[in-house]
Amino acid sequence: MKLISWNIDSLNAALEHKSARGELTWQTLNAIAQLQPDVFAIQETKAKATGLTKKQNATLAELFPGYYQYTNSSTGRPGYAGTLMLARVKPEKVTFPTIGAPGEMDMEGRIITLEYPDLYISTVYTPNSGSELRRLADRQAWDDAYRAYLLGLDAKKPVIASGDYNVAHQEIDLKNPQSNHHSAGFTDEERDKFSQLLASGFIDTFRVLHPDQTGVYTWWAQISKTAKINNSGWRIDYYLASQRLKTKLQDFQVLDTGERRDHAPICVEWDL
């Protein structure tokens, strides 16, 4: 089983590909289609509250023929956050859960979960703590609620969960840990919550395969022209899984996006 996850930072920008960056995003999307993943999870679609347009649906259907499509759009802030999943095999059930998160977080289309006979496949777009950490307290409440949600799934059957978790867990997960110690995504509070999530019964698939590897990142600041050139990045996109799936894990890759900064897709393969 091959699974791919990607924070695309605007699905429409990719599908329209009218800008230079949009063209790079479109190229990456086509490369993913060629890989024919069993499930493709997308975060930060920035879709309308009503979902994808007819044109967007048609373009996706052409790129991923025969795939089942599930969209969770923000009904709070329009054109914000949002998730989407494409699956080659129709799931038994699809849920767009609310987890009791604070504020409008539950209205921002942040989670989709597909249920299959033997496991759940879920994706999440974790809220960012924001500039000056204004949202850090809410983010911590989200982390607690999300951990409880995954544990609820895990009690029924194994879980594979992907997404932009907006946290670099360890110092080896970003290029400049010292200067970013109190930045959103690398605060002690966020890292501790992620540790709690793993300790509750989940594995970080990349670290299982590469426990000490450095210099592997999934995000490079878009505003910095040299971030990608210098590989000054962060690893904040993950595939997590129930501990009991550890022996089934085969491979993990960060897919190349060339000159494009921001998030890179991640791909994990399983013997399932």
Catalytic residues: 125, 164, 263
CB atoms within 10 A of CB 199: 9
Query: Per the annotation, where are the binding residues for Mg(2+)?
Result: 7, 44, 164, 166, 262-263
Structure tokens at 157: 């059957």
Neighbours of 257 (CB within 10 A): 20
Query: Cβ distance 240 to 153 under 8 Å?
Result: no
Tokens encoding 23: 């063209």
Write out the DSSP string of 164-197.
Answer: E-----SGGGBS-TTTTTTSTTS-HHHHHHHHHH
Are residues 67 and 87 in contact, defined by beta-carbon separation less than 8 angstroms? yes
Q: Which two tokens stand for residue 267?
A: 């791909």
- CA-wise closest residue to 187 among 173, 167, 204: 167
Given a contact cutoff of 8 angstroms between Cβ atoms, the answer to whether 142 and 126 are in contact is: yes
* C-alpha distance from residue 139 to each of 40, 103, 128, 136, 225 (Å): 26, 10, 7, 5, 29
What residue type is 72 in one-letter code? N
Tokens encoding 10: 């605007």
Provide the annotated binding site.
Answer: 7, 44, 164, 166, 262-263
Residue 144 in tokens = 């607690």
